[in-house]
């Protein structure tokens, strides 16, 4: 589109349109077009176009003349068409379009410079989506770089995480302290704040850690769910304190990953209308054009799921259509919006439109020509036009103003709704009221026996009474996992305030959405439940929970061959070993009610780390004497020992439902005069963190005769039993049968544990 045509086309402000009839509260958007001055009343969130100051226009005039009024080279078609009128005579809206176009040129040049300097990175998507990224940060999203954690900010997720350089550049230009020019120069370098994919624990302004494709889509659904839930609980007719939107950029790879379909299905079912998905439709993946493996109509798929779908054909030359798409998204109060943006991967380069642009550097002559196309050839690498900073400062100032207005609104809320405000403040401070842990039930050896999933149910339904942020659900197994929160409604479109989430059979999306809920950082404590065997569906999301410090609680029932009749397909063998290998992930396998309560206390206390609580379907033999909820914090501890001041002859180490086998075997051995210690190793990770002296106290190195008993893979247990110890585990896939018969088949009986112990004791 020629700029002469661009100049004659009127600009539509993001908030200048009137609300649709369906939008009864006049809430077209929780964002603002930054050339507009906001009206403060709730009744009118619409804004009016502001007039560009003469000083502002003068500051840009020379730069725009240089960029757009130079004659075209005879040998090179420039990217920026020369204009056919005097810049001095251009109206404000058209002038702003030229400013935006020049800012995008600067964004692209910074992307090229960073990749060339690092000799690494993924420039293709970043170059192709530069217009969109800039527009969102300059004209659309509400945020305050001076306070990146401001609660009511809009959330942005880059699901196509390989395009992180675009976000880094936008964060830098927007004024985030976390990304300086030096950080752009250190792209992908060890210890830099600009790693090869976005990491929320490394760079302020990054909401979630993305990279594995599709994960960010599920995270965005979780962020939008959190906003909808809190808005339903706390907003009042005269005061909205929760009112922000979630934006997500996804790519062709995200579209192909199954987690995207799962999460998008739920977003539409829940009608999360403040979620806007922007699809970078560049028709390329790493191996080549998407036609190699992908031919579906992705817009039709999202429409069938229940999304408002819009296609934008050409943002490179005309952003009005993207602006119109956003207006449609803001006006829809029943559906999330899917905006399909057709772009050119590797925009400006010789690789433009091909898979070769996805990653890697550019040839020197290609860089030279890219610079010539945007009239940049005389500038040093990493040059930023000073006015670009000032341009982005407009949005920063606006965001700071919005935050101040929000705090004033919250003061009003506290005055008029003190009880709700107190609860909201607990959430914003982490979600843990004083002495919350005292609500956890306690059990004695005289209480009726139950499965640990049954004890878990009792813990959850006590915790929900005191923890305002506890929210979660199961992948169509709530009645079996026993995780339904009694007295709390379901989270649905008609009851966003509900705290029971019905995920359906969508384990992978459930975990990814839970990460988004946790990383909303509003004090919500998400839990996600299924059978332990199905943790395989969720493994990538669980790993990202740990990497991104998302305190999700994964409740995994049916934790061993003890589930019996369902057979090998449902009997977890290697799952515990795999989960224990994940850094920062706390894996608990409690033996009874007291340890289950202790596991919940530790999982909830550790808000920056995810936890897995593995629970039995079968009832444990007893609530064991000697177990302790308090001792769970150490990961491993002694539950019984008849050695007195002497060292034990043998140490039996167990977890979960097998701990009672150790204790019963110990009783039999003690009758024969043996000194036997029984140790519960309920959480390896917590035990490994203990001081050396404590670990030596529990597992003295001089006691070499040790046996571990766990109905799962033996991998990892040698660290605790030593060279001379014996690991009783399962090296096959299990078997179908009654659980007692299955346990007997694999040697998990008191008699067999005793036999193995006697055999070991007889050795010198």
Distances (CA, A) of 204 to 175, 210, 227, 523: 11, 14, 20, 19
Angle of helix 386-416 relative to helix 164-174, nearest 10 degrees, comes to: 80
Tell me the C-alpha distance between 359 and 485, whole Å: 47
Q: Say how many C-beta atoms besides its own lie within 10 A of residue 642's C-beta.
A: 16
For residues 330 and 14, give the distance between their C-alpha atoms in angstroms, rounded to a whole number. Answer: 9
643 within 8 A of 675, measured Cβ to Cβ: yes
Catalytic residue of the set 507, 602, 631, 658: 507
The tokens for 214 are 């599709």
- Residue 34 to residue 31: CA distance in whole angstroms: 9
Give SS3 for 279: strand
Tokens read off for 311:
């296609």
Q: What is the 3-state secondary structure (H, E, C) of 568-598?
A: HHHCCCCHHHHHHCCCCCEEECCCCHHHHHH
Enumerate helices (H) and strands (E) in the chain, giving the number of each.
27, 20
Phi and psi for 638 in degrees, rounded to 5? -85, 125
Residues 730 and 734: their CA atoms lie apart, in Å, by 8
Helix (H, G, I), strand (E, B) or coil at 271: coil
What CA–CA distance (Å, rounded) separates 681 from 43?
59
Is the Cβ–Cβ distance between 16 and 48 less than 8 Å? yes
- Please calculate the CA angle 474-479-480 and round it to the nearest 5 degrees: 85
Q: How many Å is the maximal CA-CA distance in the chain?
A: 103
Query: How far apart (Å, rounded) are the C-alpha atoms in residues 232 and 661?
Result: 49
Residue 440 pairs in a beta bridge with: none
Strand 650-654 and strand 706-709: pairing?
parallel
The 3-state DSSP class for residue 612 equals strand
425 is known as an active-site residue: no
Of 347, 335, 314, whose CA–CA distance to 123 is shortest?
347
- Cβ–Cβ under 8 Å, residues 206 and 174: no
Q: Which residues are catalytic?
A: 507
């Amino acid at each position: 589109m020629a700029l002469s045509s661009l100049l004659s086309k009127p600009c539509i402000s993001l908030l200048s349109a009137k609300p649709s009839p369906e939008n009864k509260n006049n809430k077209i958007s929780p964002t603002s077009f930054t050339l507009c001055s906001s009206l403060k009343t709730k009744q009118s969130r619409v804004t009016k176009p502001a007039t560009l100051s003469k000083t502002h226009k003068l500051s840009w005039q020379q730069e725009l003349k240089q960029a757009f009024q130079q004659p075209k080279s005879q040998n090179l078609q420039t990217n920026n068409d020369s204009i056919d009128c005097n810049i001095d005579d251009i109206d404000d809206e058209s002038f702003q379009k030229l400013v935006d176009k020049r800012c995008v040129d600067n964004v692209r040049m910074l992307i090229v410079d960073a990749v060339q300097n690092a000799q690494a990175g993924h420039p293709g998507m970043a170059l192709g989506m530069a217009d969109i990224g800039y527009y969102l940060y300059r004209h659309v999203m509400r945020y305050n770089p001076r306070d990146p954690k401001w609660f009511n900010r809009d959330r942005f997720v880059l699901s196509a995480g390989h395009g992180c350089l675009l976000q880094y550049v936008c964060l830098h230009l927007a004024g985030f302290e976390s990304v300086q020019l030096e950080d752009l120069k250190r792209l992908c370098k060890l210890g830099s704040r600009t790693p090869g994919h976005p990491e929320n624990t490394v760079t302020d302004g990054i909401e979630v850690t993305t990279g594995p494709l599709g994960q960010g889509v599920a995270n965005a659904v979780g962020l939008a769910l959190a906003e909808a839930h809190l808005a339903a609980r706390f907003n009042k007719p005269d005061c909205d304190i929760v009112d922000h939107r979630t934006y997500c950029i996804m790519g062709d790879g995200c579209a192909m990953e199954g987690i995207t379909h799962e999460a998008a299905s739920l977003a539409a079912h829940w009608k999360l209308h403040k979620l806007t998905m922007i699809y970078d439709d560049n028709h390329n993946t790493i191996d080549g054009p998407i036609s190699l493996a992908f031919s579906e109509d992705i817009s039709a798929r999202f429409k069938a799921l229940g999304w408002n779908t819009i296609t934008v054909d050409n943002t490179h030359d005309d952003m009005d259509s993207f602006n119109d798409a956003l207006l449609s998204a803001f006006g829809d109060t029943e559906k999330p919006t899917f905006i399909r943006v057709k772009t050119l991967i590797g925009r400006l380069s010789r690789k433009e439109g091909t898979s070769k642009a996805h990653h890697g550097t550019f040839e020197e002559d290609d860089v030279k020509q890219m610079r010539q196309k945007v009239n940049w050839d005389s500038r040093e690498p990493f040059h930023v036009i000073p006015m670009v900073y000032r341009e982005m400062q407009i949005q920063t100032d606006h965001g700071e103003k919005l935050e101040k207005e929000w705090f004033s609104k919250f003061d009003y809320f506290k005055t008029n709704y003190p009880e709700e405000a107190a609860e909201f403040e607990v959430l914003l401070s982490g979600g843990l009221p004083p002495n919350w842990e005292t609500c956890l039930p306690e059990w004695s050896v005289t209480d009726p026996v139950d499965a640990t999933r049954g004890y878990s149910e009792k813990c959850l339904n006590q915790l929900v009474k005191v923890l305002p942020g506890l929210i979660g659900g199961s992948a169509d197994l709530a009645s079996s996992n026993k995780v339904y929160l009694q007295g709390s409604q379901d989270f649905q479109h008609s009851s966003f305030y509900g705290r029971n989430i019905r995920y359906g059979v969508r384990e992978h999306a459930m975990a990814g959405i839970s990460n988004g809920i946790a990383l909303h950082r509003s004090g919500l404590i998400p839990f996600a439940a299924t059978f332990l065997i199905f943790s395989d569906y969720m493994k990538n999301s669980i790993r990202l929970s740990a990497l991104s410090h998302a305190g999700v609680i994964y409740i995994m029932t049916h934790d061993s061959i003890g589930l019996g009749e369902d057979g090998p397909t449902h009997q977890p063998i290697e799952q515990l070993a795999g989960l224990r290998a994940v850094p920062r992930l706390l894996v608990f396998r409690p033996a009874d009610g007291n340890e289950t309560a202790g596991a919940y206390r530790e999982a909830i206390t550790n808000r920056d780390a995810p936890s897995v609580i593995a629970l039995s379907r079968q009832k444990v033999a007893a609530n064991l004497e000697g177990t302790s909820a308090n001792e769970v914090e150490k990961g491993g501890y002694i539950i019984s020992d008849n050695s007195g001041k002497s060292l034990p002859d043998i140490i039996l180490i167990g977890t979960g439902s097998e701990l009672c086998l150790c204790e019963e075997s110990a009783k039999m051995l003690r009758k024969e005069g043996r000194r036997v210690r029984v140790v519960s190793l309920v959480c390896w990770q917590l035990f490994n963190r203990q001081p050396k002296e404590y670990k030596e106290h529990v597992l003295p190195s001089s006691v070499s005769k040790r046996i571990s008993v766990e109905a799962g893979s033996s991998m990892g247990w040698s660290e605790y039993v030593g060279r001379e110890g014996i690991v009783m585990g399962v090296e096959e896939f299990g078997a179908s049968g009654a659980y007692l018969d299955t346990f007997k088949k694999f040697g998990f009986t008191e008699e067999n544990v005793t036999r193995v112990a006697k055999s070991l004791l007889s050795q010198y």
